[in-house]
C-alpha cells in the first residue's frame, strides 16, 4: 500500500557508455606514459650509448662522485685511475658521465 513496487530497469543499451566510462583511465595511462615512462626509457638509452662509446683515456665521473681516467676496458669491467698509482676495477654501469678532456687536471689546479 504505502510502498511502491520496485521494477527492474533494462540495461543501458548503448556501448558508448562503456567507452566513456573507461576514458579517464585510458587518459591517465597516456599521461603517465609521456610524463614518467618515456623520459626514463630515453635516459636509459642515452646511458647505454654512453657506456658503449667509452674508450681508454676518457675522463669519467663514477657513481660515488669520484673523478677518474679509464686505464683499461674489458667486456663488463673497466679499470679507472682515481689518483696517481691508485686504480680501481668496477663495472661499466657505475660510470655516470663522461667529462671533456683535461677536466680532472683543471679541477686539481
pTM above 0.85, yes or no: no
Taking only the tens place, the pLDDT of each residue in 46-63 is: 999 999 999 999 999 999
Check if CATH label 2.30.30 holds for domain 56-108.
yes
The number of beta carbons lying within 10 Å of the beta carbon of residue 68 is 23
| Domain chopping of the chain, boundaries | 15-53, 56-108
pLDDT in tens, 12-29: 555 556 778 889 999 999
Q: Over the chain, what is the mean pLDDT? A: 88
Q: Which residue has the higher pLDDT, 1 or 83?
A: 83
| Confidence bin at 109 (pLDDT 50/70/90) | low
**Strand 77-83 and strand 95-99: pairing?**
unpaired
Strands 59-62 and 86-91 turn out to be unpaired
Across residues 23-50, what is the average pLDDT?
95
DSSP 82: E
Q: Where are the alpha helices (DSSP H) in 1-108?
A: 16-32, 38-52, 103-108
Q: What is the pLDDT of residue 102?
A: 87
Amino acid at each position: 500500500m504505502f510502498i511502491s513496487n520496485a521494477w527492474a530497469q533494462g540495461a543501458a543499451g548503448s556501448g558508448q557508455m562503456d567507452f566513456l566510462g573507461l576514458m579517464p583511465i585510458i587518459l591517465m595511462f597516456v599521461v603517465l606514459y609521456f610524463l614518467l615512462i618515456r623520459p626514463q626509457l630515453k635516459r636509459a638509452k642515452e646511458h647505454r650509448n654512453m657506456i658503449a662509446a667509452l674508450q681508454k683515456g676518457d675522463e669519467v665521473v663514477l657513481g660515488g662522485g669520484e673523478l677518474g681516467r679509464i686505464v683499461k676496458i674489458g667486456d663488463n669491467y673497466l679499470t679507472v685511475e682515481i689518483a696517481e698509482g691508485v686504480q680501481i676495477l668496477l663495472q661499466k654501469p657505475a660510470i655516470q658521465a663522461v667529462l671533456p678532456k683535461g677536466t680532472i687536471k683543471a679541477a686539481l689546479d
